[in-house]
């Protein structure tokens, strides 16, 4: 292999200010030389969710420091960096602009290549940092804003086979935590309190479980958690409801993953080992990891999760996507701007809104 490329990645699509220096390895994986993530949990805690203007201001205040820290930790100076990759969407436009513009300016003044990265592609490629995975593979992307099943056929070539028709899985965790007053951010606190509860104490709905292929629906589940929470009088009941919610999410994800695996088998005829990667913030959840490993064994898939530091939003995945796109000469247009909506599969139907028929 020719020279190993080293990229700086920048991520500011939501409430994490992140920068990372990543170097490619000769075996197709990557070495993360630094991975700095500054979370804005404190800023948003009192609002129980992300406030875009507050998030954008925090990015502006932190981004230069975070980039410097990523360079220092990697023992690289900016002139050792071969290219810069920044998230250009989807996300909050006021937030995206901060990381994108500083990345573009650094690249311009340093005469380095600049790559605009789709945040969802960053997540989708993230397991390849630590694992040798070849296309095609099946992806479950579960985060605060997105829940999708995709067939990753190649770089820049993704087919969406399922998505949520209402709430994202991470959003359902966050809303449940808010309803039960378990603290912010929601996912990790629901997981923590669910350990103290009995997972079969409440019977909750499994929306569209037997229809709609591997599409997901979670709004009805959240509404039922809200309804049942009104009768709660003790902490134990609260933990039981958290545990039952998490168990219901597991049942939904296992069933829909099984369907997605069948669809993958129908679409891709392959004799080689099939891979299933689970990415995004929710992929950090231990009970979900265990259940998805079980269904993967049953369906004959190798199940791969990124390390937890690469599950939530991070810039290592952005730098890594940048290196791979640069190698394949997949550049976005020079005058491209940031975007709030940017689906990985532009032909996928938009499955939201009233009157939806599945
Ligand atoms: P991301 O959008 O990829 O940054 O992921 C953030 C989302 O992941 C939020 O909705 C979190 O509540 C959720 N999340 C993070 N950790 C966990 C966990 N351990 N269990 C469930 N959800 C989680
Ligand atoms: Mg994300």
Whose alpha carbon is nearest atom 8 of ligand 1? 281
Give, for all 358 residues of the chain, the pLDDT tens digit.
Answer: 578 999 999 999 998 999 999 999 999 999 999 999 998 777 767 776 778 888 999 999 999 999 999 999 999 999 999 999 999 999 999 999 999 999 999 999 999 999 999 999 999 999 999 999 999 999 999 999 999 999 999 999 999 999 999 999 999 999 999 999 998 779 999 999 999 999 999 999 999 999 999 999 999 999 999 999 999 999 999 999 999 999 999 999 999 999 999 999 999 987 778 999 999 999 999 999 999 999 999 999 999 999 999 999 999 999 999 999 999 999 877 677 899 999 999 999 877 766 677 7
User: Which of 90, 282, 309, 310 gets mutated to test ligand 1 (max ligand atoms within 8 A of its CB)?
Assistant: 282
Ligand 1 pocket residue status of 189, Cβ below 6 Å: no
In degrees rounded to 5, what are phi and psi of residue 318? Answer: -75, -45
Res 355: pLDDT: 63
Res 323: pLDDT: 98
Helices (DSSP H) in 230-354: which residue ranges?
235-267, 286-299, 316-327
* CA of residue 228 to ligand 1 center, whole Å: 23
Can 6-130+309-327 and 137-305 be said to share one CATH topology? yes
User: Which of 13, 89, 124, 187 gets mutated to test ligand 1 (max ligand atoms within 8 A of its CB)?
Assistant: 187
User: Which residues are bridge partners to 159 per DSSP?
Assistant: 151
Cα 40 to chain centroid, rounded:
17
Q: For residues 214 and 149, is the Cβ–Cβ distance under 8 A?
A: yes
Atom of ligand 1 nearest to the CA of 144: 10
Ligand 1 pocket residue status of 280, Cβ below 6 Å: yes
Ligand 1 pocket residue status of 306, Cβ below 6 Å: no
Res 1: pLDDT: 58
Res 36: pLDDT: 98
Tell the CATH superfamily of the 6-130+309-327 domain. Answer: ATPase, nucleotide binding domain (3.30.420.40)
Res 334: pLDDT: 67
Atom of ligand 1 nearest to the CA of 174: 12
**pTM for this prediction:** 0.95
Between CA 315 and CA 12 the distance in angstroms is 9
Between CA 317 and CA 9 the distance in angstroms is 8
Atom of ligand 1 nearest to the CA of 313: 4
Through-space distance between the first and last CA atoms of the chain, rounded to whole angstroms: 48
Between CA 143 and CA 170 the distance in angstroms is 5
Read off the tokens for 73. 């930790």
In degrees rounded to 5, what are phi and psi of residue 320? Answer: -65, -40
CATH hierarchy code of domain 137-305:
3.30.420.40
Closest ligand, as measured to the CA of 285? 1
Res 38: pLDDT: 92
Ligand 1 pocket residue status of 167, Cβ below 6 Å: no
Q: How far is CA 5 from CA 34, 71, 162, 299, 356, in A?
A: 15, 15, 35, 37, 46
Res 39: pLDDT: 84
Ligand 1 pocket residue status of 322, Cβ below 6 Å: no
Res 271: pLDDT: 75
Ligand 1 pocket residue status of 127, Cβ below 6 Å: no
Ligand 1 pocket residue status of 170, Cβ below 6 Å: yes
Phi-psi region of 28 (alpha: psi -120 to 50; beta: other; left: phi over 0): left
Handedness of CA 353, 246, 316, 257 (dihedral sign): negative
How big is the CA angle at 52 (ends 344 and 183), to the nearest 5 degrees? 95
Q: What are the DSSP calls for 68-111, one per residue? A: HHHHHHHT--GGG--EEEEEEESS-HHHHHHHHHHHHHHHHHTT
Question: Which SS3 state, helix, strand or coil, does residue 226 take?
Answer: helix
* CA of residue 142 to ligand 1 center, whole Å: 8
Ligand 1 pocket residue status of 191, Cβ below 6 Å: yes
Domains of the chain, by residue range, sit at 6-130+309-327, 137-305
């Amino acid at each position: 292999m020719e020279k190993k490329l080293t990229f700086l990645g920048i991520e500011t699509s939501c409430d994490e200010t992140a920068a990372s220096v990543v170097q490619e390895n000769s075996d197709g994986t990557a070495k993360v030389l630094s991975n700095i993530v500054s979370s804005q949990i404190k800023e948003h805690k009192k609002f129980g969710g992300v406030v875009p203007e507050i998030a954008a201001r925090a990015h502006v205040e932190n981004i230069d420091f975070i980039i410097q820290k990523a360079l220092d930790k990697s023992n690289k100076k900016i002139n050792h960096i071969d290219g810069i990759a920044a998230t250009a969407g989807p996300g909050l436009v006021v937030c995206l602009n901060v990381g994108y513009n500083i990345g573009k300016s650094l690249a311009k003044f340093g005469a380095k290549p600049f790559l605009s990265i789709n945040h969802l592609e960053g997540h989708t490629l993230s397991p390849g940092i630590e694992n040798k995975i070849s296309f095609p593979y099946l992806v479950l992307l579960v985060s605060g804003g997105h829940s999708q099943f995709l067939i990753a056929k190649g770089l820049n070539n993704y087919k969406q086979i399922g998505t949520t028709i209402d709430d994202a899985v991470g959003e359902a965790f966050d809303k449940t935590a808010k309803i039960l007053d378990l603290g912010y951010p929601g996912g990790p606190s629901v997981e923590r309190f669910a350990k103290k509860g009995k997972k079969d104490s409440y019977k909750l709905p499994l929306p569209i479980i037997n229809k709609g292929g591997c599409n997901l629906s979670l709004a009805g589940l959240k509404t039922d958690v809200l309804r049942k929470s009104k009768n709660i009088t003790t902490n134990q009941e609260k933990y039981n409801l958290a545990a039952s919610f998490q168990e219901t999410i597991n049942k939904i994800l296992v069933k829909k993953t099984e369907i997605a695996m069948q669809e993958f088998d129908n679409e891709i005829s392959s004799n080689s080992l099939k891979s299933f990667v689970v990415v995004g913030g929710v992929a950090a959840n231990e009970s979900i990891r265990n259940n998805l490993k079980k269904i993967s064994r049953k369906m004959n898939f190798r199940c791969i999760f990124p390390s937890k530091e690469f599950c939530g939003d991070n810039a290592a995945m952005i730098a890594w996507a940048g290196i791979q796109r640069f190698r394949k000469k997949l550049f976005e247009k020079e005058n491209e701007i940031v975007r709030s909506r940017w689906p990985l599969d532009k032909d996928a139907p938009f499955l939201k809104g009233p009157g939806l028929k599945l």
